[in-house]
Amino acid sequence: MAEFMAQGKQPEVLFWVGCAGSFDDRAKKITKAFVKLLNKANVEFAVLGTEESCTGDPAKRSGNEFLFQMQAVTNIEVLNAYEVKKIVTACPHCFNTINNEYPQLGGKYEVMHHTQFLKTLLDDGRLTVEGGKFKGKRITFHDPCYLGRANNVYEAPRDLIQKLEAELVEMKNCKRNGLCCGAGGAQMFKEPEKGDKDINVERTEQALEVKPEIVATGCPFCNTMMTDGVKVKEKESEIEVMDIAEMIVQAQDL
């Protein structure tokens, strides 16, 4: 972003990478896949790089409003200094926080989830998608809570899967009835309370019921949870857990 600023230019969109997308080995692959697509579509985008910091989502959901607001205010200062108007992110948690919780603290931007953004690129003809190796495959989509119920985005990711000419199969709990992967509300960072099962295993079992070849996700945390669930069920040789951006990249052989 600093480079754009130095040249006195504004990028079309700011890609908010998020902590998982920046540091987590699995999620970094999603980041790179999405960047490939942005380049392919000739989108002039910027990232904040080392000036980006956690949005504060896990702090807020743990009840630490102080830490959340410190993070938010710091991020908003950076974003406003760069006069950012439009943000895209591959993390529904970042998406929700920036979109819904930053405005009251002075950060007002147009925020899109990467599946929504990719959808507009397709609709505008800037990116074309063919099924490639996904043609006819059975794919089920796991709705991230913070994209679906939290913000009512259900169709964009499904539209993309359909563009891959894949067979989209729905789990018994989908869309607004989708079952959580177990990571939200800062659960990602702690052991679950005692119970008789882990939530990600329960969700994976729901996915296995519809016998998919691929479990598609739109969230780095869901991705981790579902990948672990598939491992617990010892199905990792049959079922892949992939972000939709990765699927589009692989379909195009990028």
Partner 1 sequence: MNYIPNILFAIALIVGIGYFAKNVKKLIRNIKLGQDVDVCDNKSQRWKNMTLIALGQSKMVRRPVAGFLHVIVYVGFVVINIEVLEIIIDGLLGTHRIFSSIGSLYGVLIGAFEILAILVFISVIVFWIRRNIIKLNRFWKNEMTSWPKNDANYILYFEMVLMTLFLIMNATDLHFQDLNSGNVISQYIAPLFSGLSEDIIHLIERGAWWIHILGILVFLNYLYFSKHLHILLAFPNTYYGKINPKGQLNNLEAVTNEVKMMMDPNIDPFAAPAEDAPMPAKFGASDVQDLSWVNLLNAYTCTECGRCTSECPANQTGKALSPRKIMMDTRDRLEEVGKNMDANKGDFKDDGKQLLDDYITREELWACTSCNACTEACPVSIDPLSIIIEMRRYLVMEQSAAPVELNNMMTNIENNGAPWPYNQMDRLNWKNES
Dihedral angle sign, alpha carbons of residues 131, 132, 135, 139 = negative
- Given the complex with partner 1, which of 25 and 124 has the nearer CB atom? 25
Work out whether 190 is an interface residue with partner 1 (CB under 8 A): yes
Work out whether 146 is an interface residue with partner 1 (CB under 8 A): yes
The minimum distance between CB 58 and partner 1, in angstroms, equals 5
The minimum distance between CB 104 and partner 1, in angstroms, equals 5
Work out whether 37 is an interface residue with partner 1 (CB under 8 A): no
Question: Which residue in 161, 187, 182, 157 sits closest to 90, CA to CA?
Answer: 157
CA 224 to chain centre: 12
Work out whether 64 is an interface residue with partner 1 (CB under 8 A): yes
Among 54, 214, 219, 239, binds partner 1 (CB under 8 A): 54
User: Are the C-beta atoms of residues 130 and 124 closer than 8 Å to each other?
Assistant: no
Question: Which residue in 161, 175, 172 sits closest to 203, CA to CA?
Answer: 172
**In the structure encoding, which two tokens stand for residue 219, read together?**
């969230």
Work out whether 28 is an interface residue with partner 1 (CB under 8 A): yes
Among 135, 177, 211, 231, binds partner 1 (CB under 8 A): 177
Work out whether 224 is an interface residue with partner 1 (CB under 8 A): no
- Given the complex with partner 1, which of 133 and 197 has the nearer CB atom? 197
- Given the complex with partner 1, which of 32 and 126 has the nearer CB atom? 32
- Given the complex with partner 1, which of 117 and 221 has the nearer CB atom? 221
The minimum distance between CB 131 and partner 1, in angstroms, equals 26
Distance CA 48, CA 118 (A): 20
- Given the complex with partner 1, which of 202 and 213 has the nearer CB atom? 202
Distance CA 164, CA 251 (A): 8
Q: What are phi and psi of 216, to 5 degrees?
A: -90, 140
Phi-psi region of 86 (alpha: psi -120 to 50; beta: other; left: phi over 0): beta
Neighbours of 183 (CB within 10 A): 25
Binding region for partner 1 (CB under 8 A) = 17, 19, 21-24, 28, 31-32, 47, 49-50, 52-54, 56, 58-67, 69-71, 73, 96, 99-101, 104-105, 145-146, 149-152, 176-177, 179-180, 182-199, 201-203
